[in-house]
Structure formats: C-alpha cells, structure tokens
Amino acid sequence: MALTQSLNRQLAVWASNLDLRKVPPEVVHATKLRILDIVGAMLGGLDTELVQQVSAATPPSGAPDAVGLPGFDIRTNARDAALLMGTMACVIEYDDSHVSTGVHPGSPIVATALALGQHLDVSGKQLIRSVLLGNELTCRLGLVAPGAFHRVGFHPTGMVGAFGAAYTAANLYGLNTEEIQNATGISGSFASGIMASWEDGTSAKSLHAGWGAAAGIEAVRLACHGVTGPAGVFEGRFGFYRAHVQNSDWMPDHGAAVSGLGERWELLNIAPRAYPCGHYIQPFIDAALWIAQHKHYDPADISKVVCLVADYMVPLICEPAAEKARPMTTWHARYSLPFCIAECLLSRSFTKHSLSPSQLVDHAHTVLSGKVGYEVNLADADRAKWSGEVRVTLHDGSVLKHRINHMRGTPENPMTEEDLMAKFMGNAQHIIAPQIAEDFVDRVMRLENQENVRTTLSSICRPGGIADLK
C-alpha cells in the first residue's frame, strides 16, 4: 500500500472496510487473549492508591447507558470509565508491549472498547473487531518511529495510543471513512504524555493509557458532530511525528504503517508481561529468578551484579544510576533494573505484591540494589528480541550467570494460554469470586458468541460479583 494518499486517509479506508470474517482465526484468538489479559491487569491494579484516587474523582452515573468498571460497584459515563480502566490496566505495569516499538497498546485500546462497548450495547464480535483494529493500528503507528519518542522524552503509549483508541471508538460508533479521517486528525491535537515521572516516580505517567483512551473517545464524538481534523496529521509539515521528534537528521518511516497491512499482523507481536514491571526489565527478571531458583547462595555473599543490556534500554531502566538504586515510589521501582534484580535475588520471586513501600526502605534491598550495575552489550541491539543476561559475582570470586535470548511473551518464547489464564486468576484473586472469575474467562474465550458485552462484563462489574474476601 503506497503513500499515494495521506497516511491518515489510507488507514481510515482500511479501518472502515475491516471485515472480521476475513481475519485469520489466530489473529482473532490472540485478540481475545489480549482482552482477557488486560482485564486481568485492571483487576491487578484495583487496590493501588492511584486507582482509588482516580475512582474518587470519577463522577457516578445512574443513566441507563452508564458503564460498569471491573472490580467496582459504581457506574459512570463512557469517557471517564475509559480513563479509569486505562489507568487500572497499566498502573502496576502488568499490561502488554509491542515488541519492536515498546508501545503498550492493550491498556488504552481495551479500556476504550470496554467503555464504549457497554455504552453502545455492542456484541462480542463487534468488541473483538474494535480491539483488533485499535491494537493493529497502534502497533503500526509505533513502527513509524520506533524508539524516537522515548529519546526526546515522550511516552509512546500516550502518544500513539490516542490514535489507536480513536480507531477503536470510531469502529464501535460505525463512522465512515471521512469521519474516521477527521477523528484521527483531531487525535493529533489530543495525543500527549511526557516522561517526567521517570525522574521522581510520580503517578502522572500511569494516567497516559487512560488519557489516550478518553482522548480517542472525545475525538470520535467531535468528528461525529462535524468537527474536522487535518488530513496530513501524520506526515504533514506540522504533523504528529515531526512536531514531536524535532531532529533534522531523522525521518519517520510512514510506509511502515501500511506495509503488509491486512496481510502481516503486527498485533501478533504484542507481548504480555510475565511480571509487573517495566517490559525491558522482564528478561533480566527471568534470568535472575533462574539463578535464585537453581543456584545456592547467601544474598549477603553477593559482591556485585552485572546486567548485560541493550543500549536503548539504558535511559529507561539503568540511568541515572543513583536514582535507579533508590527509587522514590513503588511505580518508580518498577522501572529500576537494580531494584527489581535485588528483589528477585532476595525474595527469589517477583509478583504483583513485590516492590512494596516497606521494601523501598528495607536495608537489604537498598544495599543489594546498590551493587547492581550494567554493561552495554552491542549484540543485543535488535529491538525485536529483548534479550538479557545477569551475572552475580560472590565474595569468593565465583560467578553465577544466566541469559535469556528472547523475552518471555515474545513469539519466539511465548507465554502459553495456560500461563495467561493463571495470570488472570492471580490478578482476580481476592477481588472476584473464583467461580465468577472462571466463568468470565470462559465468556471471553467465547466472546464471538456473546450478544451483548454489557452482559459479559456484568458479573465482574457489580457488587454480587465482587469477592467478599477483601
């Protein structure tokens, strides 16, 4: 698909003509797993301080088209529901990532789809189609500039996620090609998300997915009423990519967004997270846990730890070194390679309960975190692999090491369906009654047969579905 028309127009045409019946079954199945995984991540983030704060700011609604929220007994309007659900999904960093770009598509896209799906009383097939569309185009817009947003201080999930959410919302509202083009153009003025929270661990970053979802919904509503957006929102002189990555030596690859569109599915390269922390840290956690579970050592005998990292990972999980060694908040610790590795080597596990506030000031954690360093490994520069190696040196000079060539969750080292089911049940534990959680899993895996997603979600969005285990 050549760029004879604007990229905005080409994607709008493709989006308006997407026929779920022509989509490969494995793509549909992967989309259902993405929905289940992200709902689980929402439940996993339910009890965090930020989610409770955002829920307190969310206006309740008794309107017939009000939207339910997983784990909550309140209902609200669709846009505020999308903001809250997107925040829930990413707050403990347990959602997903597109391997080549580091974009987290699932949180904004599924939040948008669940909010509007209930609001509009859509079928399961319509929900699948909207999530599939949003995930695919979010990944592809990330491919236009892989790594470029991070380098200049923008969070790509907040940036391209707003466009993906708009495609999802437009699909559910049934917009035509012209309206989709306008909604996408409007989204260019709404897309946002700076990385300043990486410096001090504040919670604003965890709003990016939810804000992207809300922005996409608002862009579509405005387009429905005739508001116009620039056709050249992507490649124009003042377009999205040039406006944010202001580097005369860099050129966005707009063709990557349409190359093989509808034939090669980028959403199959979305990797679920095996652990609740920054995705670049995941292979190092697997390596450290292998050492912790297969080697004998006393943490007090550790002299130093060296992680072999790709150069593009360094600014996000390794530097500034002093900041990473002593994170200021739980979320801050989820993007600290030293602190996550210290937790693995001390606790010999890593779960959604890891990195508690008490651990941030625990002497053993802070001492061992200060011993964790890194070396850049040029052989790991391939963004499609996400490799990692951990080397633990003991005081007697012996070295314990392990390497992960492909991060768990990637196509080369996938999490199994059973892994994802177990992850969901773990996130639902103490929030949703076990039998209701199992029934919800079954409903999602048969989503194409569900007549109304409001009914599908009702058991986990009402007081009767909430476990009385809290």
Query: pLDDT tens across 358-408, in order?
Result: 999 999 999 999 999 999 999 998 887 889 999 999 999 999 999 999 999
Query: pLDDT tens across 192-250, in order?
Result: 999 999 999 999 999 999 999 999 999 999 999 999 999 999 999 999 999 999 998 99
pTM, whole model, 2 decimals?
A: 0.96
Mean of the per-residue pLDDT values of the chain: 95
Average pLDDT over residues 43-51: 96
Cβ neighbours of residue 438 under 8 Å, at least 6 residues apart?
425
Looking at residue 4, its pLDDT comes to 72
Taking the C-alpha atoms of residue 266 and residue 130, their distance in angstroms, rounded to an integer, is 15
pLDDT band at 462 (very low <50, low <70, confident <90, very high): low
Place of tokens 């579970």: 293
pLDDT band at 2 (very low <50, low <70, confident <90, very high): very low
What architecture is domain 279-404?
Answer: 2-Layer Sandwich (3.30)
Taking the C-alpha atoms of residue 454 and residue 83, their distance in angstroms, rounded to an integer, is 18
Place of tokens 């007994």: 73
Instruction: State yes or no: pLDDT of 70 exceeds 90.
Output: yes
pLDDT band at 3 (very low <50, low <70, confident <90, very high): low
Taking the C-alpha atoms of residue 377 and residue 283, their distance in angstroms, rounded to an integer, is 14
Residue ranges per structural domain of the chain? 7-272, 279-404
Q: Which fold has domain 7-272?
A: 2-methylcitrate dehydratase PrpD (1.10.4100)
Domain 279-404 in the same topology as domain 7-272: no
